[in-house]
């Protein structure tokens, strides 16, 4: 019972004010229509009465009495009464029984009791008093019974219209409220499933592009991002546990061996050095994870400014030229024009540095690493290409995940699987798209930035 009352209260709260506004607007509109119609009809009667002024104003005394007496005996005399009176109110002729106490030339309402068969009825008139040049006062009347009957009919019609409009608004409000409640119930059920852990569920949409559909689309987009982030967090936790197990096991094993077997200070020193190396390895991985988390938080956007990509790439090339020469690799830069983007210099330097470092790692001796930057289709495009083994199409999405390393080189090439994750985080912060393509042979990494306004 309480639930039913709550639903009724909710219904009135959601559609009651709409119904009140609709009914109020309809009542005001119909009231205005009634007032305008009634005023117009009375105005037409007044204009007819004022039209009599020119005919009777200059009439002489005898002609006035004769004319009014003749007009008062016509068939329409009951609907168009006339009367002529002395200035003191004495009736001289006509079918108006008494001189009304009204101002001259100003229309007024008055009533008379008339006989209709065996019964007496009240008749309603609109009249005007015309003062003649001879000193007489002529009363010209016009029946407004038909006008009043029309007004009453119009009033009943308008009241019926307001009642019908109110009923229609009530029905429409109930139907719309029912449909909205059904959709809200479906959305609520889906939301409860999502809160229960089913992050792959999405709010239902009908494709009507109405308010609820647009809101559901926005929430679904947010849920997509939340699911991606949760999956990344799960992957990072699993990766951290898996990746740190080996160095932590080696660290513990080394300390265990030192405790059991070391007998000289030199042996203890070697054990401590090995333990410190393993600890540094762990700390490097945590430092990289913290840097990725800092970048993905978006706090670095405050330092964004216009950066020349070609200048950043020249700095990276200068840094890695000695290493390339040592490994007998060709390292070249193709940047003939200045290309600007909005970003953070240090982060972009780090992203390019990681791409170049990966290219140098995986490119065999005698190979080439080529860097380039240009405007492509109105967008800045940064390219780092090598002649190494490349990345298989099936792994191109996976290599951007934290701790993921390609199967073919995860043992032969040292690393933690965090370099490309860091590049991906920096790219997302700069609204840049990462494209991994085949260089035939080798890998071609591209960062496509949005155009600078």
| Pick from 381, 393, 386: nearest CA to 432 | 381
In tens digits, the chain (453 residues) has pLDDT values of 444 454 555 555 556 677 777 778 878 888 888 889 888 988 888 888 888 887 888 888 888 888 888 888 887 778 889 989 988 888 889 888 888 888 888 898 888 887 766 778 888 888 999 888 888 898 998 888 888 888 888 888 888 888 888 888 788 877 877 777 788 888 888 888 888 878 788 888 878 787 778 888 888 888 888 888 777 777 666 666 666 666 777 777 777 777 777 677 777 777 777 778 777 767 766 666 666 666 666 666 777 888 898 888 899 889 889 888 888 899 898 888 888 888 888 888 888 888 898 888 888 888 999 999 998 888 899 999 998 888 888 787 777 776 666 554 544 555 556 678 778 888 888 888 888 888 888 899 899 998 765
Tokens of 332: 């070249």
Contacts of 109 (CB under 8 A, 6+ apart): 124, 125, 126, 127, 144
* Bond before 441 cis per omega within 30 degrees: yes
* Vertex 351 angle, CA 277 and 326, to 5°: 60
pTM, two decimals, is 0.46
Q: At what angle do helices 211-261 and 265-296 cross, to 10 degrees?
A: 170
| Pick from 250, 445, 235: nearest CA to 353 | 445
Count of beta carbons in the 10 Å neighbourhood of residue 377: 7
Q: Which residue ranges make up each domain of the chain?
A: 2-48+151-183, 57-143, 211-296, 303-448
Tokens of 395: 């792994």
- Is 303-448 a domain of CATH 1.20.140.10? no
pLDDT at 3: 43
Q: Are 59 and 70 in contact (CB under 8 A)?
A: no
pLDDT at 371: 92
Plot region of 439 (φ>0 → left; ψ -120 to 50 → alpha; else → beta): alpha
Residue 333 burial (CB < 10 Å; 0-12/13-18/19+)? middle
Tokens of 342: 């909005």
Considering the four listed CATH numbers 1.10.287.130, 1.10.8.80, 3.30.465.10, 1.10.150.20, the one that applies to the domain covering 211-296 is 1.10.287.130
* CA distances, 392 to each of 75, 100, 354, 399, 414 (Å): 110, 109, 19, 10, 19
| Pick from 382, 249, 364: nearest CA to 313 | 382
* CA distances, 313 to each of 152, 204, 316, 355 (Å): 89, 47, 5, 11
């Amino acid at each position: 019972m309480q639930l039913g009352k709550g639903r009724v209260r909710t219904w009135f709260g959601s559609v009651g004010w709409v119904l009140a506004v609709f009914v109020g607007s309809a009542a005001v509109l119909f009231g205005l229509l009634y007032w305008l119609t009634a005023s117009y009809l009375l105005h037409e009667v007044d204009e007819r009465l004022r039209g009599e002024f020119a005919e009777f104003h200059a009439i002489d005394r005898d002609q006035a009495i004769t004319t009014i007496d003749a007009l008062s005996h016509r068939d329409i005399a009951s609907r168009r009464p006339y009367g002529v009176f002395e200035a003191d109110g004495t009736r001289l002729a006509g079918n108006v029984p008494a001189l009304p106490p009204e101002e001259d030339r100003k229309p007024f309402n008055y009533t008379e009791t008339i006989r209709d068969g065996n019964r007496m009825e009240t008749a309603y008139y609109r009249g005007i008093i015309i003062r003649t040049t001879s000193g007489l006062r002529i009363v010209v009347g016009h029946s407004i019974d038909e006008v009043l009957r029309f007004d009453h009919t119009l009033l009943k019609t308008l009241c019926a219209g307001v009642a019908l409009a109110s009923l229609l608004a009530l029905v429409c409000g109930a139907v719309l409220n029912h449909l909205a409640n059904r959709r809200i119930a479906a959305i609520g059920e889906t939301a409860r499933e999502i809160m229960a852990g089913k992050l792959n569920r999405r709010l239902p949409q009908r494709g009507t592009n109405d308010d609820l559909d647009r809101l559901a689309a926005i929430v679904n987009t947010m849920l997509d991002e939340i699911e991606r982030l949760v999956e990344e967090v799960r992957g990072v936790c699993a990766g951290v546990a898996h990746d740190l197990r080996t160095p932590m096991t080696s660290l513990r094993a080394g300390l265990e061996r030192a405790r059991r077997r070391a007998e000289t200070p030199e042996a203890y020193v070697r054990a401590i050095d090995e333990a410190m190396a393993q600890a540094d390895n762990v700390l490097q991985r945590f430092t990289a994870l913290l840097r990725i988390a800092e970048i993905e938080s978006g706090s670095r956007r405050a330092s964004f400014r216009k950066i020349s990509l070609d200048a950043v790439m020249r700095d990276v090339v200068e840094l890695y030229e000695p290493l390339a020469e040592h490994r007998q690799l060709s390292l070249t830069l193709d940047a003939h024009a200045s290309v600007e983007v909005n970003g953070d210099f240090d982060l972009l330097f780090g992203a390019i540095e990681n791409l170049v470092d990966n290219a140098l790692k995986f490119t065999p001796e005698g190979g080439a690493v080529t860097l380039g930057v240009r405007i492509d289709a109105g967008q800045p495009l940064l390219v780092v290409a090598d002649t190494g083994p490349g990345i298989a199409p099936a792994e191109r999405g996976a290599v951007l995940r934290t701790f993921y390393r390609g199967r073919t080189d995860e043992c032969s090439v040292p690393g933690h699987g965090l370099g490309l994750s860091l590049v991906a985080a920096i790219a997302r912060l700069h609204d840049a798209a990462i494209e991994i393509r085949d260089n035939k042979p080798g890998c071609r990494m591209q960062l496509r930035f949005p155009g600078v306004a």
